[in-house]
Amino acid sequence: MKRVRVIVNPGAGGGRAMERLSRSLRPPTGVELEWVQSRSAAHLAELMSAAQREELHAVGLAGGDGTVQHALAGLEPGATNRVPVGILPVGSGNDFALGCGVPRSVAAAMETLIWGTPRRVDLGTSRSGRRFCCVAGVGLDELALRIIYASWLPRSKALNVLAALQALAVYRPRRVRIAWEGGAFEGEIMFAAVANTRSYGGGFMVAPAAQVDDGCLDLCVVRKTGRLKLLASFPRIMKGTHGELDEVLLVKSPWVRIESDAPMPVPLDGELDLAETPLELSCRGGGLSLLVPNAIERKLALAA
């Protein structure tokens, strides 16, 4: 009998995580399924750490990208998880799960958690050892997140778009110095995103060439530009067709270093106050053993 534990972030998806889980899931046969709810970000990390020390076949994370981000803090520094992780995508942003091939359907994701195949996928990491699954960003993103956290509305892609537009109306470009393997940039920016996945924030396709198993991070820099011009380009950023714009710089690198004259907050996976400049980020290739559907593994094998 398989022993599987699911760690639930009850606040994920605007507080609707448990509702979605109860509607979609039935206890499978032949599986000892354990459920535990996290009480805080720190508790979530503790639960992940404890799960890695037990004799489990898999540990599930029921939530979104923020849930994954906090759970990663419970893994041993520099080590890949011993017990494979599965994701039940019930958050407001599930970009990491979808980018790795986890099904959108919660029921199908549960099947993947129980019967899926472990796949080694990349993570981003800071010099301090803090990991991220989707993105680290500076500039406009940080201001938009402050607006989101202050809102009474539930987290959603629509709120993310609204907050980005509100932030754009008042944001003042900041001067930064960014270096990567083979290049550098210095100047004022609207925002810069260091991405592990193609999208973040519920579908902002900021790094359309990103892959979760290429050993690289994808850097997107949007140089200082007029608000109206950036607003007009907003649909292209959503769709991932912004690479041809003069103001946009897209590069791949195994590491990225960001500096500024004064410390700037650097949100990780939509979570505030986890890092600040100066900051060096690197890709930890194959840093997470993640459960994916067997069919995806077969496609990868055929393409290899």
For 166-222, the pLDDT digits (tens) are: 998 899 999 999 999 999 999 999 999 999 999 998 888 999 999 999 999 999 999
Report the candidate in 265, 251, 268 with the shortest Cα–Cα distance to residue 184: 251
The structure tokens 């700037």 sit at: 264
Q: Measured on CA atoms in the order 188, 194, 200, 203, is the torsion positive or negative?
A: positive
Of the chain, the percentage scoring pLDDT greater than 70 comes to 92
Residues carrying CATH 2.60.200.40, the chain: 132-283
What pLDDT score was predicted for residue 19? 66
pTM for the whole thing? Answer: 0.89
* CATH code for the domain defined by 132-283: 2.60.200.40
Mean pLDDT of the chain: 89
Q: Reduced to 3 states, what is the DSSP secondary structure of residue 242?
A: helix
154 — pLDDT class (breaks 50, 70, 90):
confident
Contacts of residues 237-242 at CB distance under 8 Å and 24 or more positions apart, as own/partner, are 237/204, 237/205, 237/206, 238/161, 238/203, 238/204, 238/205, 239/205, 240/198, 240/199, 240/205, 240/206, 240/207, 240/208, 241/208, 242/206
**φ and ψ at 20, to 5 degrees?**
-65, -40
Q: What is the mean pLDDT of residues 125-144?
A: 92
pLDDT at position 296 over 50:
no
| CA pseudo-torsion sign 12, 18, 24, 25 | positive
Whole-angstrom distance, CA of residue 45 vs CA of residue 43: 5
Query: Which pLDDT band holds residue 132 (cuts at 50, 70, 90)?
Result: very high
Which pLDDT value is given to residue 25? 65
CATH class given for the domain over 2-124+286-303: alpha beta
Residue ranges, comma separated, of all CATH 3.40.50.10330 domains in the chain are 2-124+286-303
